[in-house]
Amino acid sequence: MQVVSHALEGAVLVITVDNPPVNALSHAVREGIVNALSDLPSEAEAVLIVCAGRTFIAGADISEFGKPPLSPGLADVLEALENCPLPVVAAIHGQALGGGLELSLACDYRVLDSKARVGLPEVNLGLIPGAGGTQRLQRLAGVDTGLKLAVSGKPISANEALDVGIADAVFQDQLVTNAVAFAAETAKQKRCLRDAPAPPMDTDAFDRWTGYAHKKMRGQAAPLAVIDAVRHGLENGFEAGLKHERALFEDLVSSHQSKAMRHLFFAERLAGKPPRGVEGKPIALSQAGVVGAGTMGVGIALSLLAAGKDVVLFDVKPAALSVGYDRIRAVIDGDLAKGRISETEAASRRQRLTKAEDWSGFDQCDIIIEAVFEDMEIKKTVFAALAERVRADAILATNTSYLDIDELARSVPHPNRVLGLHFFSPAHIMKLLEIVRGEATSDDVLVTALALGKQMGKISVVSGVCHGFIGNRMISAYGREAGLLLLEGASPQAIDKAVTDFGMPMGPFTMADMAGLDIGYSNRKKLSPDQYETRAVLVHDQLVEMGRKGQKTGSGFYRYEDGNRTPLHDAKTDEIIAAVRTREGITPREIDAEEIVERCIFALINEGAALLGEGIAARGSDVDVVYANGYGFPRWRGGPFSYADQVGLDYVAERIASFAERFGTRWWTPAPLLIELAKSGGALATHEN
Ligand code: CAA
C-alpha cells in the first residue's frame, strides 16, 4: 500500500498521507513526503499536506523509538518542507499531535477543521517534542503557549489554536476543498518559523509552568526538560535551541521514565483487547438498567449515558431514586455549563434517562448493572428479582469490589450472562474498569463488556474471580505491610512520606483517613482472622473503637482542623500507637525509608505475581494498567511490574526471601512465577498467560 500519494488540483500539489490507523510518521511516511517534495511539478504554485482517515498525523511512530533510526528522519522531512520553494499548507482534521503538530509548524500555513485538536503530548510518554516543537511553537504563538502545550501535554481546540495564532483559518466543513482554495488564493509566501524573531522573554510564564511541573507532574523529568529547551532557544537562538532540544530528547528516549510510560501507552491499548483464547462476538446494547441510585449507581448511569445508551434507573427506596436521578441531571447540567458537552448532547442525555417505578422497568434492557450495598445476600436478592423479569439473554452485571461473582452467577438461571463490572469511584470520572470474568461468563458477554468499556471511555482490564480481583487483592498486601511497619516502629508520617517520595500520590494512612477507617473495620468483620493479618490493623481497630474514623470525624491517624483536609500530626495518635505496641510486647525500632518502600511495594509486586501466575490477570501489563489508572501508581515508573523489571526480578526475589527469613513465610512466600521469571531472565510486565 502506498502511504503517501500526491496529485495536482489546479496549481496546488496535494500530498496525502494514508497510514492507518493514526497516520503516525513511520519511515515510509517520512520517505514518501520527502520524495514528493523533491520532484515538484512545474505547474504547482503551492503544496498542501492532508491526511486520509480519521486524523491528521498523530505523531512519531512510537513503536520505532529505541530502534536504530532509519533515514530520512523527521528532521529531514521538516527541512524539506522549509526548503520547499513553494508555500506549504497543512490541512488538519482529527488531531495533530507531537511530530504531527511539529510537521505542521515547519509548513508555512495551517488550516484546521473546526473539530480538530492540536497538541504536544510527548510528556505523557516521558519525552519532549523532538522535532523543533519547543522552538517553533514559541516563535509562532509566544512563550506561554509554547510552554503550555508542551509542559501540560494537553491538546487545545481549533478555536484556541486560531486565537493563539497556530491556525491561519478554521473551516466548519469541507476541509480539503477549503484548504485547496486557501493554498491557491491565500498561501502566497514562505513563512519559515526558523527565520522568525524570538518572542520576548516571559518570566511569569516560566515561573507558572515550572510551578505546574513541580506540583502536578512531581517526579517527572520530561516537563522540566521542556522548560529547559524552551529557555535555551530563547536565550541562545533557534539553531542552538534545536540542538539542545534534540540532545534532551535523545537522553529521555533511553530513560527508564520514558520506557515506563511508553510501556503503559501500549499496555492500556492492549488491556482493552480480549485475552488470548476469547473469541466472542459483541452483542449490541442499546438499553441499560442500573439498580441502586447511590454514588456508584449515579456514576455508572452517567457513564452509560455518555456511551449513548438509554438508561433506566431504579432504587427500592423512592427517595433515594429521586435524589440519584436529580444528581445525574445536575452533573449533566454542570458538564454543559463547563462546555464539556454541547446543548444537543445534554438534551439527549436527559431524554435518555428514565426512572423505573419498579422492577418491571427493566423488561427491555439489554444489560442491567447492579450497584447496591456490598453484601452477597442483598446482591443475590437483586439478581433474583431481575432474573424473574428480564429477558433470558439480558446481561446481568454486578458492581462489586470483592464478592464472589461465581457464587452470585450460580444463584440465577443462565449464569453465562453474568459478570462483574468493578467501577472505581466516582464512576463517571475514574478511567479504570475491572471486568470480572466468572467461570461461566460467555465469550460473547465478555467482549460485549470490553466494547461497552471503550464506548464509556474507560480503560478496561479483564480480571478473574478472587477476593478483591486484581487491584484490591494487591492493595491489601501493600496495606498489610504499612500496618506492620507501624506496629514495628515507623510513624504514620514516616510511612506516608516514604511512599509519596517514591511517587504515590498519597500515603496509606492519609488514604485510610480519607476513605474512612470504619469502612475497612466493617469489611474485616465479614472475614475470618485467617484471611488477613490481624496485627496489621490493631491500631486501625483501636482508632475506630475510639470514634476516630478519619477525616469525617476530625481525627484518625491524623487530626484535621475545622473541616480542613490537611492531615496534621496528632500526639494522641502517637500515644495510641505506643499503647498498642506495649500491649503486644513490641519494642519499636528505627525503620528507614528504603525498608518502608521495599516492604510496601515488593508486597504489592509479589501479590501481583501470584495472581498473574494463577491466571487472574491475563497479562502482566494489565496489572500495570490497573495500578497506574486506579491506584495512582506513578506512571513514570510504569506500574508495579514495570518497576520490578527495572530494578531486577532477581533483586526483588532476593529481598522477598530475606523478608521471609525476618518476618516469616506466611506473607512473604515468593510467588512461583516471580522465581521462575527471575531465574529465566524473563519479565513480569510482558508476561502473558
Ligand atoms: N505511534 C504508533 N502507534 C500509535 C500512535 C503513535 N504515535 N498513536 C496511536 N497508535 C496506535 C495505537 O497503539 C493503537 O494501536 P492498536 O489498534 O494496535 O491498539 C491505534 O494506533 C489506535 O490508537 P488509539 O486506540 O489510541 O485510538 P484513539 O482514536 O482512541 O486515539 C490518538 C487516537 C488520540 C491519536 C491516540 O492514539 C494518541 O494519543 N496517540 C499518541 C499521540 C502521541 O503521543 N503523539 C506523540 C508521539 S511522540 C512524538 O511525536 C515525538 C516527536 O516529537 C517526534
The catalytic site residues sit at: 102, 122
Contacts of 259 (CB under 8 A, 6+ apart): 66, 126, 638, 646
Measured between alpha carbons, how far is 450 from 281 in angstroms, rounded to an integer?
A: 11
- Residue 112: its pLDDT value, please? 98
Tens digit of each residue's pLDDT (9 = 90 or more) over 550-582: 999 999 999 999 878 899 999 999 999 999 999
Confidence of residue 523 (pLDDT cuts 50, 70, 90): confident
> In this structure, is residue 259 part of a structural domain?
no
Q: From 22, 78, 265, 458, give the residue whose CB has the most ligand 1 atoms within 8 Å, as the site to mutate.
A: 22
* CATH number of residue 445's parent domain: 3.40.50.720
* Model confidence, pTM: 0.95
Ligand 1 centroid distance, CA of 405 (Å): 35
What dihedral angle (degrees, nearest 10) is formed by the CA atoms of 109, 113, 116, 121?
-10
Q: Provide the mean pLDDT of the chain.
A: 96
- Residue 357: its pLDDT value, please? 86
Q: Are 485 and 454 members of one domain? A: no
DSSP at 284: P
Measured between alpha carbons, how far is 437 from 413 in angstroms, rounded to an integer?
A: 17
Does the C-beta of 269 come closer than 6 Å to ligand 1? yes
Q: Are 236 and 319 members of one domain? A: no
Measured between alpha carbons, how far is 257 from 238 in angstroms, rounded to an integer?
A: 28
Contacts of 391 (CB under 8 A, 6+ apart): 363, 364, 365
Contact 420, 430 (CB under 8 A): no
Q: Are 572 and 602 members of one domain? A: no
Shortest-distance Cα residue to atom 39 of ligand 1: 58
Ligand 1 centroid distance, CA of 58 (Å): 6
Distance of CA 646 to the CA centre of its chain: 21
Q: Which residue bears the cell 512473604?
A: 668
**Res. 544: pLDDT tops 90:** yes
Q: Which of 253, 277, 302 is the last residue of a domain?
A: 253
* CATH number of residue 646's parent domain: 1.10.1040.50
Judging by DSSP bridges, how do beta strands 12-17 and 46-51 pair with one another? parallel
Query: Which H or E element spans position 9?
Result: strand 4-9
- Collapsing DSSP states into helix, strand and coil, what is residue 559? strand
Which residue type, as a one-letter code, is found at position 447?
V
Ligand 1 centroid distance, CA of 608 (Å): 28
Shortest-distance Cα residue to atom 10 of ligand 1: 22
- Collapsing DSSP states into helix, strand and coil, what is residue 435? strand
- Collapsing DSSP states into helix, strand and coil, what is residue 140? helix
> In this structure, is residue 265 part of a structural domain?
no
> In this structure, is residue 275 part of a structural domain?
no
Confidence of residue 69 (pLDDT cuts 50, 70, 90): confident
**How far lies 517's CA from each of 186, 247, 486, in Å?**
66, 49, 16
DSSP letter string, 663-674:
H-STTTPPPHHH
Q: Which of 553, 568, 593 is the last residue of a domain?
A: 593
Q: Are 503 and 599 members of one domain? A: no
Ligand 1 centroid distance, CA of 283 (Å): 27
Confidence of residue 434 (pLDDT cuts 50, 70, 90): very high
Q: Sign of the CA dihedral 452, 453, 454, 457?
A: positive
Confidence of residue 361 (pLDDT cuts 50, 70, 90): confident
* Residue 207, C-alpha cell as written in the block: 515561573
> In this structure, is residue 280 part of a structural domain?
no
Q: Are 416 and 431 members of one domain? A: yes
Decide which of 564 and 504 is more confident.
504
Tens digit of each residue's pLDDT (9 = 90 or more) over 465-481: 999 999 999 999 999 99
> In this structure, is residue 239 part of a structural domain?
yes
Q: Are 214 and 230 members of one domain? A: yes
Does the C-beta of 97 come closer than 6 Å to ligand 1? yes
Measured between alpha carbons, how far is 129 from 230 in angstroms, rounded to an integer?
A: 11
Does the C-beta of 310 come closer than 6 Å to ligand 1? no
Q: Which of 577, 593, 609 is the last residue of a domain?
A: 593
- Residue 563: its pLDDT value, please? 77
Shortest-distance Cα residue to atom 1 of ligand 1: 61
Q: Are 535 and 437 members of one domain? A: no
Q: Are 598 and 587 members of one domain? A: no
188-209 average pLDDT score? 95
Does the C-beta of 102 come closer than 6 Å to ligand 1? yes
Measured between alpha carbons, how far is 551 from 533 in angstroms, rounded to an integer?
A: 25
Query: Which H or E element spans position 436?
Result: strand 432-436
1-6 average pLDDT score? 92
Measured between alpha carbons, how far is 85 from 529 in angstroms, rounded to an integer?
A: 78
* Residue 641, C-alpha cell as written in the block: 511490574
Measured between alpha carbons, how far is 497 from 514 in angstroms, rounded to an integer?
A: 16
Measured between alpha carbons, how far is 462 from 146 in angstroms, rounded to an integer?
A: 39
> Ligand 1: which atom is nearest the Cα of residue 269?
19
Measured between alpha carbons, how far is 578 from 586 in angstroms, rounded to an integer?
A: 9
- Residue 67: its pLDDT value, please? 86
Q: From 17, 23, 26, 62, give the residue whose CB has the most ligand 1 atoms within 8 Å, as the site to mutate.
A: 62
Q: How many domains does the chain have?
A: 4
Shortest-distance Cα residue to atom 43 of ligand 1: 59
Longest alpha-carbon distance in the chain:
92
* Residue 82, C-alpha cell as written in the block: 522549509
**Res. 337: pLDDT tops 80:** yes
- Residue 273: its pLDDT value, please? 96
For 424, the domain range is 287-463
Confidence of residue 420 (pLDDT cuts 50, 70, 90): very high
Measured between alpha carbons, how far is 556 from 551 in angstroms, rounded to an integer?
A: 7
- Collapsing DSSP states into helix, strand and coil, what is residue 538? helix
> In this structure, is residue 262 part of a structural domain?
no
* CATH number of residue 17's parent domain: 3.90.226.10
Does the C-beta of 563 come closer than 6 Å to ligand 1? no
Measured between alpha carbons, how far is 243 from 231 in angstroms, rounded to an integer?
A: 13
Distance of CA 233 to the CA centre of its chain: 32
Measured between alpha carbons, how far is 171 from 182 in angstroms, rounded to an integer?
A: 11
Q: Are 94 and 177 members of one domain? A: yes
**Res. 520: pLDDT tops 80:** yes
DSSP letter string, 17-43:
E--TTTT-B-HHHHHHHHHHHHS--TT
Ligand 1 centroid distance, CA of 266 (Å): 9
Contact 386, 362 (CB under 8 A): yes
Query: Which H or E element spans position 395?
Result: strand 395-398
Contact 235, 202 (CB under 8 A): no
Shortest-distance Cα residue to atom 32 of ligand 1: 58
Residues in the chain: 689
Tens digit of each residue's pLDDT (9 = 90 or more) over 298-313: 999 999 999 999 999 9
Does the C-beta of 62 come closer than 6 Å to ligand 1? yes
Question: 3-state SS of 563-631?
Answer: CCCCCECCHHHHHHHHHHHHHCCCCCCCCCHHHHHHHHHHHHHHHHHHHHHCCCECEHHHHHHHHHHHC
Q: Are 311 and 322 members of one domain? A: yes
> In this structure, is residue 398 part of a structural domain?
yes
**Res. 66: pLDDT tops 90:** no
Q: Are 408 and 555 members of one domain? A: no
Ligand 1 centroid distance, CA of 24 (Å): 7
> In this structure, is residue 548 part of a structural domain?
yes
- Residue 526: its pLDDT value, please? 82
Question: 3-state SS of 58-100?
Answer: CCECHHHCCCCCCCCCHHHHHHHHHHCCCCEEEEECCEEECHH
* Residue 543, C-alpha cell as written in the block: 482508632
Q: Is the preceding omega at residue 426 within 30 degrees of 0, hence cis?
A: yes
Q: Are 401 and 441 members of one domain? A: yes
The total of other beta-carbon atoms located within 10 Å of residue 393's CB is 12
Judging by DSSP bridges, how do beta strands 88-92 and 367-370 pair with one another? unpaired
> Ligand 1: which atom is nearest the Cα of residue 55?
35
Reference 546, options 509, 517, 583; nearest CA is 517
